[in-house]
């Protein structure tokens, strides 16, 4: 388990995110321009080593091929990439190198029968920037009798949940982030040590012992200082505002709803990328009133590789 729920808060020294949150994607070249050069005789990468300070940083690699007719061309878009450790880095079709997690790995580009290697090291996981983590789904009005968190009992307010998804292209650190409702002066949940890869999700329930068994999703009961009288997430059915604050207190995400969602979730439309919320059952192919840890259709959230490929 890489996400212990109740770990004491740690400062995020050294993990501050740069101001620039743009996605510096290169455009893949046209593979067809290499069609008439015969056989690829040599392949090289430039640079051959990349060090990324954080998972929010990226670098550009160019693959150059030497062909049997004497031509030398940019073959970056033709690379089939493989990694000794797929948890450390990824490279998109434009040659942009991304850090997924702390560590070092060899990345290999293969074009035809030729291969070339590049060392990639990633030094730290970045803190989240506003917009990285989206509040994708909120369940305030729990259908009576439903065991939403999967712990075997109908826990009433324990079944309320907030579904958070890393909709960015960066691995981010949630340690010390907090979740709030609009009318209680203390955080409804404080995140322990943990990171979210692109497309990973975490669902915070009002309480109980959540057990959903969905890969790339961590389901937790709200962790706060309320003691035995815990109101959990305290999501008012008549309307509320949910806020996610970073470890330093800055607002990362916010969602406000009214009383128009009586016994089902509200969900972003479209999921991950939208700004408005709609009734969960109105999403085409919806599995029902709610879908903690998955899209409304029950399908998995897109993986890091799928997000990079978009
Ligand atoms: Ca339950
Ligand atoms: Ca409330
Ligand atoms: Ca969902």
Residues 264-292 pLDDT 10s: 999 999 999 999 999 999 999 999 999 99
Q: Which residues keep their CB under 5 angstroms from ion ligand 2?
A: 181, 183, 234, 236, 240
Q: Which residues keep their CB under 5 angstroms from ion ligand 1?
A: 147, 149, 151, 153, 155, 208
**pTM score of the predicted model:** 0.81
Strand partners, 241: 256
For 209-224, the pLDDT digits (tens) are: 999 999 999 999 999 9
Of the listed ligands, the closest to the CA of 180 is 2
290 alpha carbon to ligand 1 midpoint, in Å? 14
How far apart (Å, rounded) are the C-alpha atoms in residues 170 and 132? 8
Give me the pLDDT at residue 306, please: 79
295 alpha carbon to ligand 3 midpoint, in Å? 5
Q: Classify domain 133-308 at the CATH superfamily level.
A: Lamin Tail domain (2.60.40.1260)
Tell me if 139 sits within 8 A of 161, measured CB to CB: yes
Give me the pLDDT at residue 99, please: 94
Q: Which CATH architecture has domain 31-122?
A: Sandwich (2.60)
pLDDT band of 194, cuts 50, 70, 90: confident
Provide φ and ψ at 227, rounded to 5°.
Answer: 70, -150
Give me the pLDDT at residue 43, please: 98
Strand partners, 50: 120
Percent of the chain with pLDDT over 70: 87
For 242-257, the pLDDT digits (tens) are: 999 999 999 999 999 9
Edge-to-edge order in the sheet of strand 276-279: 217-221, 201-205, 161-166, 133-139, 266-269, 276-279
190 alpha carbon to ligand 1 midpoint, in Å? 21
pLDDT band of 169, cuts 50, 70, 90: confident
- In this prediction, residues 183-203 reach a mean pLDDT of 94
Of the listed ligands, the closest to the CA of 162 is 3
Q: What is the mean pLDDT of the chain?
A: 88
Tell me if 107 sits within 8 A of 116, measured CB to CB: no
Of the listed ligands, the closest to the CA of 214 is 3
Closest CA to 121 of 110, 107, 135: 107
Give me the pLDDT at residue 262, please: 82
260 alpha carbon to ligand 3 midpoint, in Å? 18
Give me the pLDDT at residue 259, please: 84
Of the listed ligands, the closest to the CA of 236 is 2
**3-class SS at 282?**
helix
CATH 2.60.40.10 spans which residues of the chain? Answer: 31-122
CATH 2.60.40.1260 spans which residues of the chain? Answer: 133-308
Mean pLDDT: which of 4-8, 69-73, 226-230 is highest? 69-73
Which token pair is 233?
């997430």
38 alpha carbon to ligand 1 midpoint, in Å? 64
Give me the pLDDT at residue 34, please: 61
Give me the pLDDT at residue 16, please: 36
Strand partners, 73: 65
Closest CA to 76 of 107, 54, 120: 107
- In this prediction, residues 1-23 reach a mean pLDDT of 34
Give me the pLDDT at residue 225, please: 84
28 alpha carbon to ligand 2 midpoint, in Å? 48
Residue 29 pLDDT greater than 90, yes or no: no
Give me the pLDDT at residue 23, please: 32
Cβ neighbours of residue 95 under 8 Å, at least 6 residues apart?
26, 60, 61, 62, 63, 76, 77, 79
290 alpha carbon to ligand 3 midpoint, in Å? 6
255 alpha carbon to ligand 3 midpoint, in Å? 15
**3-class SS at 33?**
helix
pLDDT band of 155, cuts 50, 70, 90: confident
Give me the pLDDT at residue 227, please: 75
Which runs of E-coded beta strand occur in 25-177? 40-46, 49-52, 58-60, 62-67, 72-74, 80-83, 89-91, 96-99, 103-111, 114-122, 133-139, 161-166, 172-173
């Amino acid at each position: 388990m890489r996400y212990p729920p109740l770990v004491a808060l740690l400062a995020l020294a050294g993990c501050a995110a740069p101001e620039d949150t743009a996605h510096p994607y290169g455009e893949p070249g046209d593979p067809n321009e290499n069609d008439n050069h015969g056989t690829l005789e040599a392949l090289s990468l430039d640079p051959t080593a990349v060090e990324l300070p954080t998972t929010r940083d990226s670098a550009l690699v160019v693959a150059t091929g030497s062909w049997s007719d004497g031509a030398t061309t940019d073959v970056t878009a033709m690379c089939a990439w493989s990694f000794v450790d797929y948890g450390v880095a990824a490279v998109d079709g434009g040659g942009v190198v991304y850090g997924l997690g702390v560590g070092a790995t060899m990345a290999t580009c293969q074009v035809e029968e030729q291969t070339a290697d590049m060392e990639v090291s990633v030094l730290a996981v970045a803190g989240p920037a506003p917009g990285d983590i989206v509040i994708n789904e909120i369940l305030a009005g729990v259908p009576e009798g439903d065991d939403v968190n999967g712990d075997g009992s109908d826990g009433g307010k324990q079944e309320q949940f907030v579904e958070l998804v890393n909709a960015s292209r960066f691995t981010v650190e949630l340690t010390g982030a907090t979740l709030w409702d609009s009318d209680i002066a203390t955080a409804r949940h404080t995140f322990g040590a943990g990171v979210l890869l692109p497309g990973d999700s975490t669902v915070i329930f009002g309480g109980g012992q959540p057990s959903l068994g969905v890969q790339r999703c961590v389901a937790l009961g709200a962790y706060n200082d309320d003691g035995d009288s815990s109101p959990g997430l305290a999501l008012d059915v008549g309307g509320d505002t949910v806020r996610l604050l970073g470890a330093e207190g800055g607002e990362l995400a916010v969602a406000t709803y009214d009383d128009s969602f009586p016994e089902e979730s509200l969900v972003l439309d479209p999921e991950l990328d939208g700004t408005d919320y709609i009734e969960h059952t109105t999403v085409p192919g919806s599995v029902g009133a709610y879908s903690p840890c998955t899209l409304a259709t029950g399908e998995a959230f897109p993986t890091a590789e799928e997000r990079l490929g978009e």
